Amino acid sequence: MQNLTIYAMHGVVDTLDINCLCHRTMHDRTLFANHLAKRPKKYVTINDALNGRGDALTIDDATVAAKEAALLARSHGHEVSLFANPYNVVLQKSYFFHQINMLLDSTTATSIAVSGVSLPSITLSEKVKVKKKIKEQYCRLSMEGERSLLVAELAAQLGVTNVPLPRFLATLSTEDLTYLRKQGVAIENHGWSHADYSRLSDACVKLEVEDGQQWLMANGFGQNYHFAVPFGHPLPTRHQAFPHCTVWFLENHNIPPGPIGKGIWRQETTAKVWNRTQLVL
């Protein structure tokens, strides 16, 4: 059982360009399709994987890229789970980090000063630094209005107006998720919103997990009680208890993949914690 792997990915794009920030968490469609076609053993459901019957494939965030990766997996006979945020789905809100990436990919500005970081020329590494700062700033804000303002200010500073997100980053609708469910994709809980849970109080985290799970159940998706924490890093704290979460999934490169054993928190929460592995093709 300890040899099983639960993989995490974010979706596919037609031709992967590593110089494009919007592509950085994505996989190339052709490479992914080849991987699915050639993999000797099919991916199994998360529950089957946890019971030692194979590896599982999970996809985070409710985007078109995620939907297309999930459908590819199904077309090759694999089981797959998609972790979605009802906040984005219900309100048809773009994921803010994709908005930031798109603005930085699209800009022709030669300088910018954001949170003390200046971008004197447009190199990818400088854009990555700016992106990190903006993300930190965004995550500190608790009001949705303040967050929208921050993205609007960034757009103005970068001189990018009226540029839509690429189609593969569009947010899925409830109907899209229902369609995926009918195609055999498990729709799972990525929390109500894609907040930075390490900055939320225990009570807020509990609410985010519960609201996400309750929405899934109310819309016919919620057979499971798996939760993939947004941004992959935060562990549950020792004070949190989760009646709506049996497994808390991470995607944390600093922790070995697999079950997290004998943590002090584990004795005091109802959730098991499992670190997923990034799928590398």
Q: Which residues of 52-66 are buried (b: 16+ CB within 10 A; e: fewer)?
A: eebbbbbbbbbbbbb
Smallest separation (angstroms) from Zn ion to the CB of 230: 5
User: Closer to Zn ion at the Cβ: 35 or 190?
Assistant: 190
Smallest separation (angstroms) from Zn ion to the CB of 160: 23
* Residue numbers 92-111 binding Zn ion by CB under 5 A: none
User: Closer to Zn ion at the Cβ: 119 or 166?
Assistant: 166
Is position 61 an interface residue for Zn ion (rule: CB under 5 A)?
yes
Is position 251 an interface residue for Zn ion (rule: CB under 5 A)?
no
Smallest separation (angstroms) from Zn ion to the CB of 191: 9
**What contacts 20, CB < 8 A, 6 or more positions away?**
105
Binding residues for Zn ion, total number by CB under 5 A:
3
Smallest separation (angstroms) from Zn ion to the CB of 195: 10
User: Closer to Zn ion at the Cβ: 59 or 104?
Assistant: 59
The site map against Zn ion for 211-230 (x = CB under 5 A) is -------------------x
Residue 57 token pair: 């494939």
Binder of Zn ion out of 55, 60, 105, 251 (CB under 5 A): 60
User: Closer to Zn ion at the Cβ: 11 or 112?
Assistant: 11
User: Closer to Zn ion at the Cβ: 60 or 210?
Assistant: 60
CA distance 5 to 259: 10
CA distance 172 to 96: 15
Residue 72 token pair: 């590819």
Is position 188 an interface residue for Zn ion (rule: CB under 5 A)?
no
User: Closer to Zn ion at the Cβ: 60 or 208?
Assistant: 60
How many angstroms separate the Cα of 54 from the Cα of each of 51, 89, 277? 8, 31, 14
Please, which residues bridge with residue 84 across strands? 189
CA distance 257 to 49: 14
φ/ψ region of 27 (left if φ > 0, alpha if ψ in -120 to 50, else beta) reads: beta
CA distance 269 to 248: 10
Residues near Zn ion (CB under 5 A) are 60-61, 230
